[in-house]
Structure 1
Amino acid sequence: MTREYVTVQGTEVPAVGLGTWRLTGEDCYDAVRTALDLGYRHIDTAQAYGNERQVGAAIRDSDVAREDVFLATKLNVGNRGRDAVLRSTEESLAKLDTAYADLLLIHNTAQRTPLGETLDAMNDLRDRDKVRHLGVSNFDVEKLHRARELSDAPILTNQVQYNPYWLQTGLLDYCSIHDVLLTAYSPLAHGAVLDDPVLDDIGARYDKSAAQVAIRWLVQQDGVATVPKATSTGHLRANLDVFDFELTDAEMEAVRRPSKRRALSGFVRGRLPV
Structure 2
Amino acid sequence: MSTFDRLGYGTYKLADGEECVSGVAHAIETGYRHVDTAQGYDNEASVSAGIDRTDVDRDDLFVATKLSTDNLSYDDATATARVSRDRLGVDSIDLLYVHWPINSYDPEETLPALDDLVDDGVIDRIGLSNFRPDQLAEAIDRLDHDVFAHQVECHPLLQQERLREYAVEHDHWLVAYSPIARNRVADVDVLREIAATHDATPAQVSLAWLLSKQRVAPIPKAADFGHVEENWAAREIALTDDEIARIDALDRDERIVDFEEAPWN
| TM-score normalised by structure 2 residue count | 0.92
Aligned to 1:21: 12
Post-superposition CA distance 1:88-142 (Å, at most 9, x none): 1111112112221100000011034421321111111111211100010001211
Q: Which has the larger share of strand?
A: 1
Q: How big is each residue's C-alpha offset from its partner over 1:31-86, in whole Å with a ceiling of 9 and x where there is no partner?
A: 10000000000000000011111001111221111011110000000111111011
Partners of 1:93 and 1:112 in 2: CA distance: 21
2:107 corresponds to 1:115: yes
User: 1:155: which partner in 2?
Assistant: 147
What is the CA distance between 1:178 and its match in structure 2?
1.0
Who is 1:90 aligned against? 82
Q: Aligned-pair distance for 1:243? A: 2.4
CA RMSD of aligned residues (A): 1.7
The structure 1 residue matched to 2:200, chosen from 201, 208, 216, is 208
- Which residue number corresponds to residue 174 of structure 2? 182
User: 1:249 is matched with which residue?
Assistant: 241
Structure 2: gaps (5+ residues): 259-265
The answer to whether the 8 Å contact 1:183/1:226 transfers is: yes
Compute the displacement of 1:12 (Å): 4.7
Structure 1 position 259 matched with structure 2 position 252:
yes
1:165 maps to a residue whose letter is: L
CA–CA distance in structure 2, aligned partners of residues 96 and 12 of structure 1: 17
Query: 3-state DSSP class of the match of 1:14?
Result: coil
Give the equivalent residue in structure 2 for 1:199. Answer: 191
Whether the 8 Å contact between 2:35 and 2:63 is mirrored in structure 1 is yes
- Partner Cα distance (2:116, 2:226) in 1: 41
CA distance in 2, matches of 1:100, 1:125: 10
The equivalent position to 2:120 in structure 1, one of 125, 128, 134, is 128
**Counterparts of 1:114 and 1:108 in 2: how far apart (Å)?**
11
Cα separation, 2, equivalents of 1:244 and 1:48:
33
Measure the CA separation in 2 of the matches of 1:259 and 1:12. 34
Match of 1:40, SS state, is coil
For this pair of structures, how many residues does the alignment match? 256
Tell me, in whole angstroms, the C-alpha distance in 2 between the residues paired with 1:14 and 1:74: 18
- Following superposition, the deviation at residue 15 of structure 1 comes to 1.2
**Identity among equivalent pairs (%):** 36
Equivalent of 1:137, from 109, 129, 136?
A: 129
- Note the residue ranges of structure 1 that are not aligned, 5 or more in a row: 1-10, 269-274
Contact 1:184 1:227 in 2 (8 A): yes
Q: Distance in 2 between matches of 1:245 and 1:183?
A: 19
Q: Which moved more, 1:29-38 or 1:105-114?
A: 105-114
Partners of 1:45 and 1:122 in 2: CA distance: 17
- TM-score, normalised to structure 1, is 0.89
> Is contact 1:116–1:151 with CA below 8 Å preserved after alignment?
no
- What SS is found at the alignment partner of 1:243? helix
Show the counterpart of 2:49: 57
2:218 paired with 1:226: yes
